Amino acid sequence: MERYTEALSDARRAAAVSPDDGEAQLLVAVTALHAGNREIVLRSMDRAAELLVDDAYAHVELARIARGVRQFEKAEAFARIAVALQPNQSSCQIELARAFVAQQKLSAAKLVVRKAIENGIVDREMIESDELLAPIHSSLR
C-alpha cells in the first residue's frame, strides 16, 4: 500500500503541473484507487471524464475505476459513453456488460453480450474467461 501512496503523490504532482491533462487526471484516479483514497478517486475521475470526453478507452478505464469504488451507476454511464464512441470495440461492450452485472442488471448484461457476440465484436471464450461475466455465459445459449 505504501508503494501506491508514493505513486499517488507522484501522480498528483504531475497532474498539478498540467491540471487540464486528462491522462494525468486518469492516472491520479487509478493510483488513488490502488492507494485506497476514495475522495481523490471520485474527484479525479470526474475531472478526467470532463477532459477526455471523446476518448472511448479512457471511459472504459473510468468505468473500471467507478466499479472499484462501488459507483455502479457512474460505471454504467462511463461504459455507455465508451460504447457510443466505439460501438465495435470489445472492451467497451464488455465493460458495459460488467457494469450491468455489478448492478445485478443481468438481463441487460446478457443482452449486451448476446448482441456483441452476434455482431462479432466478442466471442464466447472472451465472456467465459471474464471473471464477472463468466456466470452469465451458460445462460446465453
Query: Is the model's pLDDT at 1 over the cut of 70?
Result: no
Say which CATH topology domain 54-141 has: 1.25.40
d(CA 66, CA 29): 10
Question: The pTM is what?
Answer: 0.93
114 to 6, 43, 117, 119: CA distances (angstroms):
42, 34, 5, 9
Domain boundaries, the chain: 1-52, 54-141
Q: pLDDT tens for residues 64-93?
A: 999 999 999 999 999 999 999 999 999 999
11 to 29, 34, 79, 109, 111: CA distances (angstroms):
9, 12, 24, 34, 38
Asked if residues 47 and 25 have their Cβ atoms less than 8 Å apart, the reply is yes
The runs of H, that is alpha helices, within 18-139 are: 22-35, 38-51, 56-68, 72-85, 90-102, 106-118, 124-128, 134-137
